[in-house]
Amino acid sequence: MPCPWYRTPSGSIIVTPDKIINEVLPTYIYSRVSSHNKQGDLITQIELCETFCISKGWEITKIFKEIASGMNDSRKQLLKLFSMPPGRLVVSYKDRLTRFGFNYLETLLTKMGWEIVVIHRDKEEKDDLMQDLVAIITSFCCRLYGLRRGHKKAKEIKEQIPDETCS
């Protein structure tokens, strides 16, 4: 087991902390809303995260903001964030980062050297479950209606193409 202290020949005890207390980490803010009509909330999230970081004495390296579903697994700004050097990731609520699998994501990122800071972790579980259920239903409805619209559009296009037979 590593020893966090040692004794000098003169008898003095020197303590070496495992982690530097004021470690300078790049600090990233990520904020997300699900639709364009919620852009005001996007600004509110950023301001909240900026105020939080300033109160902690953290210098903000970059701010990532996105309008996309929390269930979308190919969000451009989030993927761009993960291509940055590991650092401190600040979000207002955990569902701003992802709707599902937050614990998996947090565990993986922590093992990769990231620190995840969620400002409001004390959100009620019941509300969280209801929002997750609504998000699932909304996502599946959008995909289902999108598929129907796609099939309808394809059928319309096929009807416009003249049926030519080779003689």
Catalytic member of 10, 31, 34, 167: 34
Q: How far is Cα 11 from Cα 1, in angstroms, rounded to an integer? A: 22
99 φ/ψ angles, rounded to the nearest 5 degrees: -75, -40
Measured between alpha carbons, how far is residue 30 from residues 38, 40, 109 in Å?
A: 16, 15, 14
Task: Report the half-sphere exposure of 62 (CA within 13 A, side-chain side).
Answer: 13
Catalytic (active site) residue 34:
yes
DSSP, residue by residue, 27-91 = EEEEEEESSGGGHHHHHHHHHHHHHHHHHHTPPEEEEEEEES-TT-S--HHHHHHHTSPS-EEEE
Work out the number of other CB atoms within 10 angstroms of the CB of residue 33: 21
Asked whether the beta carbons of 24 and 6 are under 8 A apart, the reply is no
Q: Indicate which residues carry an active-site annotation.
A: 34
